[in-house]
Amino acid sequence: MKVWFRPVAAVVALILPIVLIGPLRAGGQVPDPGARPFAVLLCRYPDIQETFGFDAARIQQMWVGDRSIDSLVRETSLGTASLAGTQTFGWFTVRTPLAGYSADFAGNLQLMQDCIDAARPTVDLSRFMYVAIFMNDQTPLNGGFASSIDFGGRARPPASSSNTALLYYRSMTSPGLVLHEVGHLFGGVHTNAYADPLGGASHFGDDPKRPTAGLAPRTNNVTPGWDAYNRDRMGFVPADRKVTVATGTQTVNLTRLTQPGAGPMIVEVPFGTGAAKYVVAARTRVGQDAIPLKDNDFGRIEYALAAEGVTIVRVDDPRGDQTVAELSTPGGRGSGADGVWLPGQTFRDFANGISIAVDTFGPDGARVTITRGAPTTPPPTTAPTTTAPAPTTTLAPLTGARLENDFAAAATLAVPSVNGPFDTAGATLATGEQRPCGGMTATVWGKVIAPATGTYEFTTQGSQLDTVLAVYRGPATGADPATMPSIGCNDDSNRQPWSSVSVQATAGDILYVQVGGFASRTGVVTLNVRGPGDAAPTTTAAPATTTATTAAPTTTAAPTTTAAPTTTTAAPTTVAPTTTAAPATTAAPVTTAAPVPVATQAPAPTGGPAQDDLAAATPVAVPSTVGPASTAGATLEAAEPRVCAPYGSTTWIRFVAPTTKRYTVTTAGSDFDTVLAAFRAPSDAAAAFTNLTNLACNDDSEGSLAVVSFDANAGDVIYVQAGGYGTSTGNLTLAVS
């Protein structure tokens, strides 16, 4: 956005003073010529005093010292930049309660300005180049944010895109969230690159609001370093450490990206007529990339850099966020073994005549051979060549209609049916086409005419790529993909890359089904359709063969070899200006907080328990907290929708939106794996499963916690459904804000 959305081991020896209490007035310049000092401000809302035991000294440890953000910056910049002079101050109190800030960019900017104003009487901000603001609760837009505020600070390097970061309360234990926003301040962009976009933003420490067994909130370590493309954008890769292969064949000995030896750190392979390119680098566990994400404080070892190998990132537009990690396993996850290439594997872009082969890989780097030739036609699509046994499937052969790229050509799908497999190479996103959830592209369409009244389930299980799935209710004629109401959308189902949507329909309803690839991905898609009373699909694995493509291929073909897949979290998608969605976005961040007994939950109930049946939904105020209350004995009603996951034991609340704004509902404080869905009803009196419009649905946002955020107009009647994943039940708490 060029406003952007989306600890640390004990410090052995601090290399800088920790905290200065009192005014910081004009003094000598920091001697380090590469210093990028931050003023780190801790601010709280006047109506929310809880700071979870964090103070300036503890937050300072995240920024400077051993295993800190400063040490990561020094390492990734090859010693050309540091956070020397960074100081932490606070707590300061802003002038307005959280609810008083509008849930938009203006609200975030006003909060940032208010925190800076609260600090000015005691902090001389002219000494600093950047400001980082930690809030003691959510932010108006429910997440991190980066922009520019005129606080009178020092000039920053040309690559820097903004100077002030706003961080919500989870950032106090999750330095990956802080690294993400610092990356934006230094000029980085959202990427779909290996090891996490812009520095660990999917990795969470303890939730300060959910203490574990009475312990103080535990903080993750600062890891991993930013990906190769962003390091280059930030000016951290010297020009003489880059090799460009524009023609012919060239073999390059790459040194490792972190703590490099002699020789090139990255290879750039340009293609097309613009500035598009591939960026190739070797990632190893060394330095900051070798630090465990969670160490003895968490009782286990886990690495943010999940696998070592060669990374290949496609950059379509260097001016923005258009980057995609090329995966060695089609449809895999970019932040694990699927995101790296190993000896014997070759990436091929037939359309641009490019191949990138990994010859060798070791702890010091890799040897790669890049060939730039004439564009060629890819061979017929077959199962990827692999050293592992070929995948098997019990999918039915292709029958019925084919999913089509153009909405107007969407053919009718049978109920029940298994449609596919199809190759989506060459599919596009039409102008104005909706994307209700997830950053889907390369979309294809089908439609179902409901033969009976009841529940319809659509899944992409069996597909060979990370999919996003949406269902719309359309009119008999004149359906418009830009304006049809979405009645269900899902990115990842049960932490898997395939998608699942369940909706209610009346006999004769026309349901349009949109399937896309997450973050520009294309590949083999299967769409399973079930109606009322139909058995579950029999898919057991991704299909081993594919049928002809629906359009001429214009993107890269599947690689010829694969690595073992590893399920991890997906990279965040981008929006404009520059904001990272808070935990309730398209991908489910990782958390380490175990389910907590209800007795440890601080908030007292402020409303009655949610009711089992839609017709008896508990009316609640906004804001309010409902529960904790047990869901044991709750059931799933006949024809009740299950929008984004297989869930049951559902309960319902309802409220009338008091103002036009963005609303958020969470299950924070619950002690079981929850799923949330929000719906708009035509009125209280007319609410029924057949006329609810789905606004949002979420399975896991932070571990087993579910969060939904949605826009509503004053007077809208909102119903919220809370269930347990699978057959889970427990003590449910719902917070509405």
Q: Identify whether residues 137 and 286 lie together within a single domain.
A: no
Pick from 14-28, 72-86, 179-193, 257-271: least confident: 14-28
Residue type, 665: V
What is the pLDDT, as a whole number, of residue 494?
A: 47
d(CA 662, CA 641): 23
Assess if residue 137 is contained within a domain: yes
State whether 467 and 507 are in the same domain.
Answer: yes
In total, how many domains does the chain have? 4
Do residues 649 and 683 both lie within one domain? yes
> Are residue 43 and residue 190 in the same domain, yes or no?
yes
Its sign, for the CA torsion 24, 29, 31, 32, is positive
Does any domain span residue 573? no
Residue where a domain terminates, one of 209, 225, 241: 225
Beta bridge partners of residue 15, listed in sequence order: none
Average of pLDDT values for 99-115? 93
Q: Which residues of 38-77 are buried (b: 16+ CB within 10 A; e: fewer)?
A: bbbbbbbbeeeeebeebebebbbbbbbbbbbbbbbbbbbb
Give the torsion sign (CA, 390, 370, 259, 200): negative
Instruction: Report yes or no: 8 and 60 within 8 Å, Cβ to Cβ.
Output: no
Question: Does residue 609 sit within a domain?
Answer: yes
Of 331 and 92, which is predicted with more confidence?
92
CATH number of residue 86's parent domain: 3.40.390
Judgement on whether residues 617 and 513 belong to the same structural domain of the protein: no
pLDDT band at 393 (very low <50, low <70, confident <90, very high): very low
Q: What's the confidence (pLDDT) of residue 558? A: 34
- Pairing mode of beta strands 365-372, 354-362: antiparallel
Q: CATH number of the domain that 648 lies in? A: 2.60.120.380
Q: Mind listing the pLDDT tens digit for each residue in 299-351?
A: 555 677 878 999 999 888 776 666 777 888 776 666 667 888 999 999 999 99
Last residue in a domain, options 501, 530, 559: 530
User: What pLDDT digit, counting tens, does each position of 484-519 carry?
Assistant: 877 777 765 544 567 778 777 888 999 999 998 865
pLDDT at 305: 80
Structure tokens at 497: 């890359």
pLDDT of residue 438: 54
Give residue 300's pLDDT.
Answer: 52
Tens digits of per-residue pLDDT, 65-85? 999 999 999 999 999 999 999
Residues 447 and 501 in one domain: yes
What pTM was estimated for this model as a whole? 0.55
Sheet holding 707-712, edge to edge: 624-630, 731-736, 661-666, 707-712
> What residues are paired with 282 via a beta bridge?
310
Q: Which of 478, 508, 530 is the last residue before a domain boundary? A: 530
Does 165 map to a domain? yes
Is residue 302 located within the same domain as residue 177?
Answer: no
Q: What is the H or E stretch that residue 109 is in? A: helix 105-119
Q: Give me the pLDDT at residue 238, please.
A: 96
Q: Looking at the domain assignment, is residue 63 inside a domain?
A: yes
CA angle 689, 694, 695 (to 5 degrees): 150
List the structure tokens of 580. Answer: 């990272």
pLDDT at 172: 95
Indicate if the pLDDT at residue 13 is higher than 70: no
Name the residue range of residue 436's domain: 407-530
* 14 in any annotated domain: no
65 shares its domain with 207:
yes
Query: Of 54, 139, 59, nearest to 99 (Cα)?
Result: 139
Residue 292 predicted with pLDDT over 80: yes
Task: Sort 535 into a burial class: Cβ within 10 Å, 0-12 / 13-18 / 19+.
Answer: exposed
Torsion of CA 143, 144, 146, 151, to 10 degrees: 100
Mean pLDDT value of segment 412-417: 88
- Would residue 160 count as lying in a domain? yes
* Average pLDDT taken over every residue of the chain: 77
Name which residue leads in pLDDT, 377 or 610.
377
Pairing mode, strands 454-459 and 440-449: unpaired
Mean predicted confidence (pLDDT) in 428-445 = 74
CA 233/CA 103 separation, integer angstroms: 31
User: How wide is the angle at C-alpha 361 spanned by C-alphas 358 and 363, nearest 5°?
Assistant: 155
- Among residues of the chain, what percentage have pLDDT more than 70? 74
More confident residue, 116 or 293: 116
Same domain, 622 and 496: no
Same domain, yes or no: 176 and 61? yes
Let me know whether 199 and 293 are in one domain: no
Decide if pLDDT at 297 tops 90: no
Report whether pLDDT(230) > 50: yes
Confidence of residue 396 (pLDDT cuts 50, 70, 90): very low
Judge if 461 and 414 occupy the same domain: yes
**pLDDT exceeds cutoff 50 at 566:** no
Tokens of 607: 């409303």
Residue 389 lies in a domain: no
Residue with tokens 């108006």: 140
